[in-house]
Structure formats: C-alpha cells, structure tokens
Amino acid sequence: MKGRWQAILLAAGIMAAGSFGSARAADIAEGKRLYRVHCESCHGERGQPEMPGAANFSKGEGLMKTDAQLRTHMTNGGRMCPSFAGVIMDRGMFDLALFLRTLF
C-alpha cells in the first residue's frame, strides 16, 4: 500500500514540475546568445563599447531601467541603437534584459 501512494505522489510531483516548467522564466543563456548575434558588435563582448557613444553596460549605462523599459528601447531603438522589432521576439528581449545586467 505504501509503495502505491509513493508512486501517486511522485507522479503528481512530476506533473507539477512540468507545469512550472511551461511558465518559462527568462533564460540567461538565450540572452547571451542573442547579445552575441545582435548587440556585441557595438556594445562589446563584456559590455565595453566597440562603437563610440554606445551605452557602456560594464558601467551600468542604460541599465537603470525596468525589464519592460529595456524591451521598449529594443523595440523602438535609439538615435544610433537599431530597432529590433520583428527581429527579436518579446521573450528574447526579456532574456536579453536579464543578460545585460550580468555585464555590469
């Protein structure tokens, strides 16, 4: 009898873990990959800009914003910073927001 209840609880645990997994948290590895492809050429591998005038993420420049504000910047672009609307999905922008903060 004991074994059967353990099996049922285990199954319930696996189902719960599965449903938490689908509410996806921002993925830092994906943020890093997107940064390499889309941002590094100007903002630099470690957030020290390659392009004069680009925000220096290693000094926290441009990062004193909420994730939603960062997403708005990526969507609209800046004066020289390109717009990534239609290029990077919303969830990718949140992955990027998480990764950008690791450069500071």
What is the binding site for ligand HEC (CB under 6 A)? 38-39, 41-43, 51, 53-55, 62, 70, 73-74, 78-82, 84, 96
Residue nearest to ligand HEC (CB): 78
Tokens 């599965």 correspond to what residue?
18
How far is Cα 4 from Cα 22, in angstroms, rounded to an integer? 28
* Residues whose CB falls within 8 Å of the CB of residue 75, separated by 6 or more in sequence, listed in order: 83, 84, 85, 93
Q: State how far the Cα of 34 lies from the Cα of 15, in Å rounded to an integer.
A: 31
Given the complex with ligand HEC, which of 25 and 50 has the nearer CB atom? 50
* Nearest CB to ligand HEC, comparing residues 81 and 98: 81
Min separation Cβ 99 and ligand HEC, Å: 9
